[in-house]
Structure 1
């Protein structure tokens, strides 16, 4: 049965990645289906050398091969199938001498087209002349279609295999640890640097799932977590070496995500230097705080020593305010240093949003009202739960509210909102201030960066508040961002993952 034979040929061809084997299956099937003398295929060689030739039909195909080159030229110049019903037609079309002995009496040649590209030809030779249209022409075309698809697929596979080998060679020579995964979270590529860093045999983990290949929970999170949350993460291996992650998704032409690439940079030495810097900051800050305390105390006592005139009182106020700003800056530096150094583990706990934010309102509402603002808590906070370290969350909200009060003084409401997504709790602080330009938004969470605010030139600060908010969010495996338009106010967002049931120590390890 021709249908059964064609189905079997199709299945066998799909199961092979070898062009010789696949073409032999197709030509043998075509030979059986047509009762021809022999079947041939000629395929252009992508290397530019002689075409690749294939045949089926015992000894007949060897003699038939003498017509391959001329048929290939004829197919190139034709618009479709070529049917030559007699020896005379063969000699005429192929420009052969009249006395030349022919291996076949008639033939049909088909171009091997795939995706608009000619890959060669497939042809069938008969021992007798044709007297009518071949009855199995459509069946032959089915075999030819499979032959064309086989050639196209083998070329694509060869290109992919070549690209894979080149990429693997590059990765082997790369000192950074690199791992590539597919959409099913299986390892596609990994280089020796990754194996050395995390104690795995990279040849053995190819094809395995991420959770099966790696026992390090922080590395598992880097490879499986939301892409926007894993960029810029720091993780530690069993040898206490620290790695900084960069990650990107791999997209197909249609935009479909087909994998992920993660590069882990060894920053152990950098972290050691950072710890030295942190120690220096702590010591210097401590040494500065004592004299600042003395300055503040004695400056505050000056009016008690005698009557001061208006100018003298102004000078005293300037001294006290300057000392206070310096004290606040040192406090911000120490807070940021404490968060970034990860010296303390995060004590993650479920925090009821409503009472937590009401305590913030109690603290900040008087200052807000004194400058013409009103802090409002959105209704969405009533039943929301935030999983966070309470001290860190309080510090983050202190900075967001202080920022809003600085830049939105006298502009109306400042709104604290909370909403829950499938995997995160998103906190927002909105104001009706002057807004922030697109250029400033790109750098707003950098240390010591302050947006250019011509409308509020008198606003002072350390430039560390939003950097502290970002560091706190990142330690919780969360993120921060801002949406703002000039003249329309700003909304700052902080998304914290729902960590219910996650042990504090494990979370701290992932956060690092």
Structure 2
């Protein structure tokens, strides 16, 4: 493993060289464009919203792609066939996938694909030099982006939205696409493409897989941390294959078939490739051994022959004779193609064929060899370049010509592998490899090519072979040809000579052999996979068609269309399911018919209060097969005229009237039981006396009519033949009996209610006071004749009219508009002609909720006149009493000035003054009350309610301190609130209430005064925890001179006018006053005043 810098490599991009490569490239473009279109929705909007992320990731992609890489050791990657280049090691780019993985979660699969295309283009130019790389990496980004942003339901899809899990899954799923890309990228035939795709795609897949997993692990941190902007689907939906059974079967079958096909294809290809490799190895090994075994004999024969021809007698003859002797030797033994004789000076003596050394000089090896031979080396063998264009090096044999006196000359014999008869078996073995598309070489001890069987593959003669390791044992290995294609090589050393035989066979030969071996199986696999998919599709279509038919039938059943039978044949599960659906349809149809009958009965019961009209549909639906009579006998109370004491008897059917005599018997017979069934009436002993001599049904069933534990009568059905009653039939009849009992109960309640209503109407008609009744929607229900006599009160008096249309008096309209449970339920109403009525409203409650209200108007005009006269009399008397009281008080206070008084006289005097003060206070209260009731003009001013309360508390604080009573205040008022009121009168009213609270509160008690604002009104509340007020005293509490009869109340002195003055002041301001109290716990007095009394007066 080694760190490298990818940007330092040489950039290049190799385009497809064959039409199949262009076809595959175009096909991948089409698939990529289709996938991009599927995820393009909303991409522009995302780009506008997150343009900064798009720009940043686009700028980041070149840095993360080309900045750093890891060179992984091990097996090298092969270059593309027929494109020479060095074999690179796999290169892992650990940061390359980060930009488009982040784009998947932040921007979606559309922009992830584009950023992956940018990264893939850089990888293709600087790393793989393959034009398919950009598309393959962009497709990987598109698939990954879809995986992390899909919104499908299910646990698998939820896990797939995690970036790390998506990387693990997508990397595996994308491997077949990488294999397909490698197949199209490799030039050459089908076998070459398959071999390159299956042998090289795995390393590339592992590299891409590692990059994706590394980036997915980093992105997982951003995906799980909130606030990082990682897109998460808000609404989940079912996957497309989950909406159809056929699609679901295809989704399960297709991946399995593809996986099985891929595994079987790769495994069988590997097995076929290994078999072809072994066959090829055996072939090369045999040929190499044959060639290597022939070469030693060739060399030994040459050495022996040249030694025998080196006769010293040759040098004693003239050159012409020597030349003739050499020619004879060549003709006698055709081993050499040239012989040369040199003297001791190294000069050519004779040669055959003739040789001009000035034109064709000796090789350096031969020249050196002659020198060595003259020095005593007996035999030498050299290889020299051929003369002319030949495919074989020449082999030169040198032998010294010796006599008794030493070396007299040197004989040189030249031969080559093509013409020498002793090399033909070896050459035949080499040429047998050439005929199969390979090549054969004979190498010397330095690896120089001595012979090349197929010169068309490249002129290597006389050059170093280069890619072979000399020495050692025979071996079979793989290498690269100069064209960049894979080739197999076999090295065979020559025994006894440092020569070797090397046979080369292109890997395409093994690939072709593997394809021939695997083709039938591969074709069978393709046909089997296609057939399996087609059969599964056809089989699922048959199943889906049946299930679709069942689904449509179920939908029709769900919509109430039960007339079409389910037509699904077969004895398998689908057939049984169809028959179950048919049974369900028939059952539902029968059940719905019963429900429709019951619905008709229920509607009749709900729509009719007349018992005969309500029960008639129930008797009609009972009539059916074998039913000849359906009858009902009811108690007399179900009709309005029940004074006659006769019950109600109803019947339908062809024999309903002849069987009517059974009503009385069955009415009493089922009173104490729930059901009476007689399968054969003729054999029933209990009915023998009754039916004697009369027509009777063959079978009958009778049910009691009970509702809320009240017996109303009997419902019975007669049949024309004996029968056994099924449970479904009895349940249906019991349901009908329940509806009939409900109709009887409704009729009885209606009769009772109608009688009660008439009685109520009679009572209301006799009441002299006006009475009005409204429902909970404020609609007029009824009113008595006395109400119609009141002038200025009503508008439209039709029952059912709205409250606003009925009542024209504003005060009464406001009182009736108050919600149920409101504290004020009574008021004095002034109408036309000076009439004054006291209106009181009572809410009519159901079990928990109000169901209406009743308003009673009492004419108090006469009482108001008497009260006015009384007030005038009291005011007159009080005014006349003021002067004598003042005179008496003056003289009483002057008695002490006349002389000293004893203790008894002072006590009498003090009692006189106290009595005078009480009388004076009473007179003042009476005069104040008279002035208020006389309608003195209010001096309205803008007041702050909180300030008024504070002044009252401050004034009465000393009095409260004497009893250790704490006065607290609380305000819930809007800022700047202004109340228009008479300040003196308002203070007097509050003083009276707070003074009473202090008086009737025990020592160390508490008084709380609050002011709040509600609906343009200010509410003052004075609360204490004193003795409280008895419920009987509450209604008369604000009357003049009224005092409670309780002993605790009489302990405090008073005139009984304080609360009457408060009420008069409040009503003068068009407000209200009321009290809430619990005996022994305290009281709360409320004053409610409008913010502007003048506005309130105009409304009244």
TM-score when normalising by structure 1: 0.82
1:167 and 1:432, CA in 2 relative to 1: closer, same or farther beyond 3 A? closer
Assess if the C-alpha contact under 8 Å between 1:374 and 1:413 holds in 2: yes
Residue 155 of structure 1, CA deviation? 0.6
Residue 423 of structure 1, CA deviation? 9.6
Aligned to 1:63: 658
Assess if the C-alpha contact under 8 Å between 1:241 and 1:266 holds in 2: yes
Assess if the C-alpha contact under 8 Å between 1:177 and 1:193 holds in 2: yes
Q: Which deviates more, 107-116 or 239-248?
A: 239-248
**Unaligned 5+ runs, structure 2:** 1-592
Assess if the C-alpha contact under 8 Å between 1:387 and 1:496 holds in 2: no
- Distance (whole Å) between structure 1 residues aligned to residue 1075 and residue 774 of structure 2: 27
SS of equivalent residue, structure 1 residue 258: strand
- Distance (whole Å) between structure 2 residues aligned to residue 440 and residue 97 of structure 1: 68
Query: 1:243 and 2:837 equivalent?
Result: yes
- Distance (whole Å) between structure 2 residues aligned to residue 462 and residue 275 of structure 1: 20
Aligned to 2:871: 278
859, 875, 881: which one pairs with 1:288?
A: 881
1:136-175 alignment, distance < 5 Å: 136-175=729-768
Assess if the C-alpha contact under 8 Å between 1:388 and 1:496 holds in 2: no
- Distance (whole Å) between structure 2 residues aligned to residue 60 and residue 455 of structure 1: 83
Aligned to 1:378: 969
Residue 421 of structure 1, CA deviation? 7.1
Aligned to 2:595: 3
- Distance (whole Å) between structure 2 residues aligned to residue 149 and residue 71 of structure 1: 20
601, 604, 619: which one pairs with 1:12?
A: 604
Query: 1:449 and 2:1040 equivalent?
Result: no
- Distance (whole Å) between structure 2 residues aligned to residue 13 and residue 484 of structure 1: 52
- Distance (whole Å) between structure 2 residues aligned to residue 109 and residue 42 of structure 1: 11
Aligned to 1:23: 615
Assess if the C-alpha contact under 8 Å between 1:82 and 1:109 holds in 2: yes
- Distance (whole Å) between structure 1 residues aligned to residue 1047 and residue 894 of structure 2: 36
Query: 1:188 and 2:781 equivalent?
Result: yes
Q: Deviations over 1:146-182 (max 9, x none)?
A: 1110000111011111101101011111111112222
- Distance (whole Å) between structure 2 residues aligned to residue 387 and residue 94 of structure 1: 89
1:471 and 1:210, CA in 2 relative to 1: closer, same or farther beyond 3 A? same
- Distance (whole Å) between structure 2 residues aligned to residue 396 and residue 69 of structure 1: 77
Q: Report the structure number with the largest CA radius of gyration.
A: 2
TM-score when normalising by structure 2: 0.41
* Larger strand fraction of residues: 1
- Distance (whole Å) between structure 2 residues aligned to residue 103 and residue 202 of structure 1: 65
Q: Which has the higher contact order (CA 8 A, sep 6+)?
A: 1
Query: 1:234 and 2:828 equivalent?
Result: yes
616, 624, 629: which one pairs with 1:38?
A: 629
688, 701, 711: which one pairs with 1:118?
A: 711
Assess if the C-alpha contact under 8 Å between 1:74 and 1:94 holds in 2: no
786, 811, 816: which one pairs with 1:218?
A: 811
Q: Deviations over 1:456-478 (max 9, x none)?
A: 95x54312213333555576234
Q: Which deviates more, 382-391 or 116-125?
A: 382-391
1:402-413 alignment, distance < 5 Å: 402-406=995-999, 411=1004
Residue 324 of structure 1, CA deviation? 3.7
Residue 191 of structure 1, CA deviation? 0.4
Aligned to 2:1076: 481
Residue 274 of structure 1, CA deviation? 1.4
Assess if the C-alpha contact under 8 Å between 2:794 and 2:806 holds in 1: no
**Unaligned 5+ runs, structure 1:** none
1:465 and 1:27, CA in 2 relative to 1: closer, same or farther beyond 3 A? same
- Distance (whole Å) between structure 1 residues aligned to residue 1003 and residue 719 of structure 2: 95
Residue 381 of structure 1, CA deviation? 5.5
Aligned to 1:51: 647
1:97 and 1:382, CA in 2 relative to 1: closer, same or farther beyond 3 A? closer
1:360-399 alignment, distance < 5 Å: 360-365=952-957, 368=960, 371=962, 376-380=967-971, 389-390=981-982, 392-399=985-992
- Distance (whole Å) between structure 2 residues aligned to residue 103 and residue 188 of structure 1: 52
Assess if the C-alpha contact under 8 Å between 2:1012 and 2:1020 holds in 1: yes
- Distance (whole Å) between structure 2 residues aligned to residue 116 and residue 497 of structure 1: 56
- Distance (whole Å) between structure 1 residues aligned to residue 737 and residue 841 of structure 2: 44
Query: 1:74 and 2:636 equivalent?
Result: no
- Distance (whole Å) between structure 2 residues aligned to residue 168 and residue 235 of structure 1: 25
